[in-house]
Amino acid sequence: MNSGQSIRPHDWQRLADRIKATGLAVTPSVPLAELTTFRIGGPAGLLCPVENAESARRFLDIASTEGLPWTCLGGGSNILADDAGYDGLVLLVRARNLDVAGDTVRIGAGWDFDTLVAETLRLGLTGLEFASGIPGTVGGALVGNAGCYGREIGEFLVDATVLRTDGSVDRLGPEDFEFAYRTTALKERGDVVLDLVLKLDRGDLDAAGRERQEHLDDRRRKHPWDIPCAGSYFKNLPPAAPGEWRRAAGRLLEESGAKTMREGNAEVFEKHANIIVNRGGATSGDVLILADRMREAVRRRFGEELEEEVRHLATPRANRDPAVD
């Protein structure tokens, strides 16, 4: 994410016309509720999809020239967009190339992650079935080092094409990502993945297919498939001892009574205490208050501090128009 001077809402159409003249497609005032799985959020100033490094560079040049904040959205999961919207530029990476060479695949960052799992299995490649059902794009998954069942996407990375916040484009290897639990150095810096190469396997397809189905069934039992949410709200806690699995935040939340909690139209999902769902018309304020109550319940019961996995997307305070604060 970058930042600069605030631009007033009536300038968005002027800026949209200027950007369109450079060959980029932009749309002003798109509700973020339409772009996030939580179905919450006010309008983005301008929405700009890009499909390659050159168009992404042009996007950043415009953001820099205009002194505007910008951010990148993948599939819209793990995001709580603010009710006030985002007074800046929103980049959507839409690259969907897919090239296979032996057991490696080069993938555009705009691929839906779960769709990619199914496609690689169809092509005879195994390894990603652990990620079955994970929402969002593969680019967003890599930046956040998405994972489950003890596996993470970072384990498979060969290299990636990355747009840095200074506008340069570099090819980075796994060591440059500094993979950690649900984060990377790129996530901290705000760099954007444009495409990536993963090394997979030519393993037992029948076993991989069964594993995929088991994970999908497990998610359907525990996760809301037809109710808006952002996924797990808090990160799991570090293991109690070296070599053990991380401690599930959902278990601590359940034992702290979180499943009975509701704030406005946001409530804790009855089947999973680490998921907040939007029952219809929930606001970002509802969610933030509910999350604070959940965190405080765990703090009181266990003395543990929960850390958000869901990112709150709001205009940086330095860029907000004082007239509307």
- Taking the C-alpha atoms of residue 259 and residue 290, their distance in angstroms, rounded to an integer, is 11
- Consecutive H or E run containing 54: helix 53-66
The strand pair at 262-263 and 266-268 is best described as antiparallel
Given 6, 129, 132, 182, which residue is catalytic? Answer: 182
- Containing 15, the helix (H) or strand (E) segment is helix 12-20
Residue 309 known to be catalytic? yes
Choose among 95, 273, 262, 265: nearest CA to 195.
95
Supply 40's token pair. Answer: 């919450």
The SS3 of residue 60 is helix
Q: Is 264 helix (H, G, I), strand (E, B) or coil?
A: coil
Tell the residue number behind the tokens 């300038």, with chain if given: 11
Chain-centroid distance of CA 213 in Å reads: 23
Q: Is 182 left (phi over 0), alpha (psi -120 to 50) or beta?
A: left
Task: Provide the β-strand partners of residue 126.
Answer: 201
CA distances from 71 to 49, 68, 99 (A): 12, 10, 28
Query: Which residues partner with 236 through β-bridges?
Result: none
> Does 247 participate in catalysis according to the annotation?
no
C-alpha dist (Å) from residue 55 to 91, 92, 195, 298: 10, 11, 14, 45
Q: Rounded distance, CA 290 to CA 294, Å? A: 6
CA distance 313 to 28: 17
Check: CB of residue 233 under 8 Å from CB of residue 275.
Answer: yes
Q: Of these residues, 6, 55, 132, 232, which one is catalytic?
A: 232
Is 151 noted as a catalytic residue in this protein?
A: no
Q: 91: burial class by Cβ within 10 Å (0-12, 13-18, 19+)?
A: buried
Token representation of residue 65: 């020239």
Give catalytic residues, as residue numbers. 182, 232, 309
